[in-house]
Amino acid sequence: MKFNKHLESIKTYEAGKPIELVVREFGIEPKDIVKLASNENPLGCSQKVQDAVSAIVKNMALYPDDSMIKLKAGLSKRFDVEQKNIIIGSGSDQVIEFIIHAKADENTKVLVNSVTFAMYEIYAKHVGAQIIKTASQEHNLDEFYDLYKKENPSIIFLCTPNNPTGDAIDAADMMSFLEKIDEDTLVVVDGAYMEYAKYADDKKAVEPKELIEKFKNVIYLGTFSKAYGLGGMRTGYGIADELIINELYKLRPPFNITTLSLEAASVALEDEEFVNKSIALNFEQMKRYKEFANEQKLDIIESYTNFVTLCLNQNQNSTKLADDLLRRGMIVRDLAGYGMNAIRVTVGTSEQNDKFFELAKQYL
Amino acid sequence: MKFNKHLESIKTYEAGKPIELVVREFGIEPKDIVKLASNENPLGCSQKVQDAVSAIVKNMALYPDDSMIKLKAGLSKRFDVEQKNIIIGSGSDQVIEFIIHAKADENTKVLVNSVTFAMYEIYAKHVGAQIIKTASQEHNLDEFYDLYKKENPSIIFLCTPNNPTGDAIDAADMMSFLEKIDEDTLVVVDGAYMEYAKYADDKKAVEPKELIEKFKNVIYLGTFSKAYGLGGMRTGYGIADELIINELYKLRPPFNITTLSLEAASVALEDEEFVNKSIALNFEQMKRYKEFANEQKLDIIESYTNFVTLCLNQNQNSTKLADDLLRRGMIVRDLAGYGMNAIRVTVGTSEQNDKFFELAKQYL
């Protein structure tokens, strides 16, 4: 059977190894496995959210409220924007998918950072769009501007803080950059880790309200998967001018969020205490990674997120290190696939980080 | 800002009114509202599923197992097919989306029944494909064959039992039809309500195993939203030859099912008792709808599903009836949008059906 030609160039995405597989493959007890590979919140999720979801498990039989009124009201209040400026996706991933399908095709180009979130490129390939990448590892807005002028992309993705490197763009620099972009180019500001950046440094804080008031061609993305501790519930959002939201809404499948996810995210927004505690723990524990990198004479990228990127020395090999750690039940992300001799480690609880330091020392 | 041209012809999908909206709009207490509009399981979902999900609410923080090994193993056992023949979607809707994006584009045609599940056409429009429809309300396979020969569609959708009419194709007739279709045309057999049809009449029972062993160009779709009582958890599946599954997998976003949905669906497969009880209740109560139609001199389409389609007489108006019922807190589906002067009513519990009969009598 013949399929659409774009599929020929797409490889099936392989996600990181789930804990279950490590258990079977290496005979390690689940309790001895530490997963610091997916930037999940090491504190789990808010007890209030757990209670609220437990209280409505019966409702699993009922289709979700497709107007998503409760969650939209919560986000509207949280960001001081109107509900018509919001679209909810099954993870912010799905909003990225809507954006690509609304604005890209085999005749257009998509501009991304050299090292950044893999899904931009994956979705762009789904429609056969051409990917243009900058050269620098960190976002360099001058490079972005030069490529924008030269290549005329239909979409530009800025990921701040960036995954998988952890660096962030100064908000003021970004605003200056956006002023130079024509209004028919859609700029995506992916703030999946913005809650962390905001806590770490005011200068990195991007406010969706300010963004969409100034620019009709910018969409801000956020997620409940990181600081809000709901990685398993697949809920993210986009905030933009109403005209953009209306177009993306045309591509949204009905009922794209589960009934329990809607409740979980709505209640998560109300428990700021949990989020603040999570972020405070994160940066307290991150100091230990900086000390560790210093001791081990490794470069560490200044991180505004809940993970650190440890750059190895020439005589070390990130793939081997990640594999050695995996065999001991410590799951981290090898960045060799991004062209970096580095590993990305989620900042865990104090105990999880202890274990990482202890094991990593043995293999470095 | 300009968007892709296909978006111009897409209207934003408007789902049925959620209970919350009826509460606010008509000032009716939630306890007095009966929703028989979305073919949800009136018994809710299995207690075992509720217990299993409650036990893992902590895991909402963790990304789902993207290999979906537990659910695939359950489906593999249930249908006696291999795991490589299975793809899981966020509802079977999402598998439909993968199919359209894999096999249709602005140069191809998609053949569907005149009255059928709306998402086939909606997704086809997303890629600009042309929709070809049969003339008859029920699936007429001769008409399908004539249009297949004439129009050369890349995809044919057969929905059996059909939504929103409830009729089903004889399995033997379908097998004969499939033998006449060339191997480059993908035929989708959507069995969202197949558990009901199988119970009601052996002749309507389509077995995915038999289907995919005989045909390399056929995909069977199933869902946990109906008989399994998990409409809110967005979990469905496709079963097909490995070559088809591999292509669809390329378009699957990672983590497309929530952590709690995977658990819910896996456990639901193990509680056949709940499913059997639900289906037995359904057909027991459906008899009452037949009696009601008889009393009211209305045509009722023989239904192999968990809903009935009541066809009104010329002096009656389905839109008005649905609206009258809505104002009394009874939500049903008006089929005027499908070109039918009819309403679709989910078969509810005995009490819910009592209320429907009582109210409908007043307005018919």
| Nearest residue in B to A227, CA atom | B61
Per the CB < 8 A criterion, the answer to whether A132 and A104 are in contact is: no
Question: Whole-angstrom Cα distance, residue B100 to residue B219?
Answer: 12
User: Per DSSP, which regions of chain A are E strands?
Assistant: 34-35, 86-89, 109-112, 130-133, 155-159, 186-190, 218-223, 236-240, 299-300, 307-311, 330-331, 333-334, 342-346
Between A69-79 and A259-270, two packed helices, what is the crossing angle to 10 degrees? 30
In the Cβ-directed half-sphere of A321, how many Cα atoms lie within 13 Å?
Answer: 27
Domain at A5-45+273-363: CATH code: 3.90.1150.10
CA distances from B33 to A230, A254, A324, B21, B364 (A): 32, 22, 59, 11, 20
Per the CB < 8 A criterion, the answer to whether B22 and B28 are in contact is: yes
CB-count burial class (<10 Å; 0-12, 13-18, 19+) for B16: middle
Mutate: best of B251, B261, B275, partner A, most A CBs <10 A = B251
- Distance of residue A327 Cα from the nearest chain B Cα, in angstroms: 19
pTM of the model: 0.96
Question: Whole-angstrom Cα distance, residue B167 to residue B172?
Answer: 15
> How confident is the model over B143-159, as pLDDT tens digits?
999 999 999 999 999 99
φ and ψ at residue A309, rounded to 5 degrees: -110, 115
Question: Whole-angstrom Cα distance, residue B280 to residue B211?
Answer: 26
- Contact yes or no for B64 and A126 at CB 8 A: no
Per the CB < 8 A criterion, the answer to whether A338 and A18 are in contact is: no
Mean pLDDT in order along chain A per 10 residues (364 residues): 88 74 83 93 98 98 94 98 98 97 95 96 93 96 98 98 96 98 97 98 98 98 98 98 96 96 98 98 98 97 96 96 94 94 98 97 94
| Nearest residue in A to B235, CA atom | A258
State which amino acid sits at residue B268: A
The separation between CA B130 and the C-alpha centre of its own chain, rounded to angstroms, equals 22
Q: In what order do the strands lie in the sheet with B218-223?
A: B86-89, B236-240, B218-223, B186-190, B155-159, B109-112, B130-133
Which of A188, A210, A201, A12 has the alpha carbon at shortest distance from A113?
A188
Query: The complex's ipTM?
Result: 0.96
Question: Whole-angstrom Cα distance, residue B125 to residue B323?
Answer: 29
Residue with tokens 């050369």: B152
Q: In what order do the strands lie in the sheet with A307-311?
A: A299-300, A307-311, A342-346, A333-334
| Nearest residue in B to A244, CA atom | B1
Question: Whole-angstrom Cα distance, residue A28 to residue A5?
Answer: 43
Domain B47-270 has CATH 3.40.640.10: yes
Count of CB pairs separated by less than 8 Å, A with B? 224
| DSSP conformation class of A136 | S
| Nearest residue in B to A60, CA atom | B232
- Contact yes or no for B15 and A119 at CB 8 A: no
Question: Whole-angstrom Cα distance, residue A309 to residue A333?
Answer: 9
Torsion of CA B3, B6, B12, B13, to 10 degrees: -150
pLDDT for the residue B17: 67
pLDDT for the residue A139: 96
Q: Are strands A155-159 and A109-112 parallel, antiparallel or unpaired?
A: parallel
SS3 track for chain B: CCCCHHHHHCCCCCCCCCHHHHHHHHCCCHHHCEECCCCCCCCCCCHHHHHHHHHCHHHHHCCCCCCCHHHHHHHHHHHCCCHHHEEEECCHHHHHHHHHHHHCCCCCEEEECCCCCCHHHHHHHHCCCEEEECCCCCCCHHHHHHHHHHHCCCEEEEECCCCCCCCCCCHHHHHHHHHCCCCCCEEEEECCCHHHHHHHCHHHCCCHHHHHHHCCCEEEEEECCCCCCCHHHCCEEEEECHHHHHHHHHHCCCCCCCHHHHHHHHHHHHCHHHHHHHHHHHHHHHHHHHHHHHHHCCEECCCCCCEEEEECCCCCCHHHHHHHHHHCCEECEECHHHCCCEEEEECCCHHHHHHHHHHHHHHC
Residues of A in contact with B183 (CB under 8 A): 1
Which of A118, A147, A150, A117 has the alpha carbon at shortest distance from A133?
A147
Question: Whole-angstrom Cα distance, residue B218 to residue B172?
Answer: 15
Strand partners, B240: B219
Per the CB < 8 A criterion, the answer to whether A49 and A271 are in contact is: yes
φ and ψ at residue A356, rounded to 5 degrees: -60, -50
CA distances from B30 to B22, B235, B329, B356 (A): 8, 27, 9, 16
- Contact yes or no for B233 and A11 at CB 8 A: no
pLDDT for the residue B26: 86
pLDDT for the residue A132: 98
pLDDT in tens, chain B (364 residues): 899 888 888 888 777 667 777 887 888 888 899 999 999 999 999 999 999 999 999 999 999 999 999 999 999 999 999 999 999 999 999 999 999 999 999 999 999 999 999 999 999 998 999 999 999 999 999 999 999 999 999 999 999 999 999 999 999 999 999 999 999 999 999 999 999 999 999 999 999 999 999 999 999 999 999 999 999 999 999 999 999 999 999 999 999 999 999 999 999 999 999 999 999 999 999 999 999 999 999 999 999 999 999 999 999 999 999 999 999 999 999 999 999 999 999 999 999 999 999 999 999 8
- Contact yes or no for B230 and A254 at CB 8 A: no
Sign for the CA dihedral angle at B155, B91, B257, A256 comes to positive
Mutate: best of A13, A22, A62, partner B, most B CBs <10 A = A62
φ and ψ at residue A347, rounded to 5 degrees: -70, 115
Long-range contacts (CB closer than 8 Å, 24 or more residues apart) made by B142-146: B144/B111, B144/B113, B144/B177, B145/B177, B145/B180
3-state SS, residue A223: strand
| DSSP conformation class of A62 | S
Question: Whole-angstrom Cα distance, residue A49 to residue B159?
Answer: 39
Per the CB < 8 A criterion, the answer to whether B16 and B37 are in contact is: yes
Would you kindly state where each structural domain of chain A is located, as residue ranges? 5-45+273-363, 47-270
Which of B136, B155, B145, B266 has the alpha carbon at shortest distance from B217?
B155
Q: In this complex, which of A66, A216, A230 lies closest to B61 when CB atoms are compared?
A: A230
CA distances from B194 to A171, A287, A337, B169, B197 (A): 54, 57, 44, 11, 5
Instruction: Report, in angstroms and rounded to the nearest whole number, the Rg of chain B calculated over CA atoms.
Output: 20
Mutate: best of B2, B3, B266, partner A, most A CBs <10 A = B3
